[in-house]
Amino acid sequence: MSQIQDYPSLFSLAGKTAVVTGGSRGLGLHVATGLILAGCTKLIITSRKASACADAVRSLQALSTKATILSLPADLSKPSEVERFVKELTAVTDGKVDILIANAGATWGEAFDTHSDAAFDKVMNLNVRSVFNLIRLCTPLLENAARQSSEKARVVTVGSVAGLHIGGIGQYGTYGYAASKAAVLHLTKHLAVELGPRGILLNAIAPGFFPSKMASGLIAASGGEEAMAREVPDGRLGKPEDIVGSIVFLCSRAAEHINGAVLPIDGGKHVVPSGVKL
């Protein structure tokens, strides 16, 4: 007989403290919702706009009376703000974070010939540099959590299939964004090796298209949701449950031997050979 220990707790996040950047809307709000429903008892979200954060906290708090849900607004594109955020985070978590989801990100779509240095800098800065700084400064908090628990701490970075294959070229070229997402996927693997021995597992998700404020412009420019869905092997775009299922799994005991992985969540579009019409 197989010796599976305590199956009911395998996918549970009961009692965990989690942090979600960009948790005020879109994928980050889906993630925050899933973490609360999976049992996290402390959740801290952040984004630049305090009022959007407060609205999100209110909607999340309605899901659980047991959990403490807070927001610490910060502009993570600035290193000084990342430092301030982690200082405040340390105070409200007693220096212990089990789960960090580095989700906040920005994109830029513009033709190659006019694609400016400022646009490139904006996306590389938030999508890569700030993710590195955030993980580096949160490492003592994650190590504390791992020391106080029988489970390893988790970091999940939010990359994109844009970092796996060539997507946006032409009028809405996403040159900096694609490079930033390839970079964050590679950074995640690099840090999985660095931090695994320190009790922290790092994995990345690489979503395809999910309707959100960020994606809406590109979805409209690509002919709308239905047209885009026809190009996906499972016939649809992403929905909240797709993100939640993957994140909860990667943060749970079920994924305790998964480190340095990149999980595409795109219905199989990234493996469609070029030129193949579905």
Ligand X SMILES: NC(=O)c1ccc[n+]([C@@H]2O[C@H](COP(=O)([O-])OP(=O)(O)OC[C@H]3O[C@@H](n4cnc5c(N)ncnc54)[C@H](OP(=O)(O)O)[C@@H]3O)[C@@H](O)[C@H]2O)c1
Give the residue among 52, 17, 50 at the shortest CA–CA distance from 36: 17
Helices (H), the chain: 26-37, 50-61, 79-92, 117-124, 130-147, 175-195, 213-221, 225-229, 240-251
Number of residues binding to ligand X, judged by CB under 6 A: 28
Whole-angstrom distance, CA of residue 127 vs CA of residue 68: 28
177 is catalytic: yes
Q: Contact with ligand X (CB under 6 A): which of 10, 37, 70, 106?
A: 106
Exposure string (b/e) for 211-238, b if CB count within 10 Å is 16 or more? ebebbeebbeeeeebeebeebbeeeebb
Whole-angstrom distance, CA of residue 224 vs CA of residue 217: 9
Query: From the CB of 105, what's the least distance to ligand X, in Å?
Result: 2
Report angle CA 186, 76, 96 to the nearest 5 degrees.
Answer: 80
Query: From the CB of 75, what's the least distance to ligand X, in Å?
Result: 5
When asked if residue 18 is in the footprint of ligand X (CB under 6 A), the reply is no
Site string for ligand X, 193-232 (x = CB under 6 A): --------------x-xx-xxxx-----------------
When asked if residue 178 is in the footprint of ligand X (CB under 6 A), the reply is no
Q: Which is nearer to ligand X, 158 or 251 (CB)?
A: 158
Query: From the CB of 124, what's the least distance to ligand X, in Å?
Result: 12
Q: Contact with ligand X (CB under 6 A): which of 48, 84, 189, 198?
A: 48
Query: From the CB of 213, what's the least distance to ligand X, in Å?
Result: 4
8 A C-beta contact, residue 226 and residue 236: no
List residues with catalytic annotation. 177
Q: What is the binding site for ligand X (CB under 6 A)?
A: 21-22, 24-28, 47-49, 52, 75-77, 103-106, 126, 158, 160, 207, 209-210, 212-215
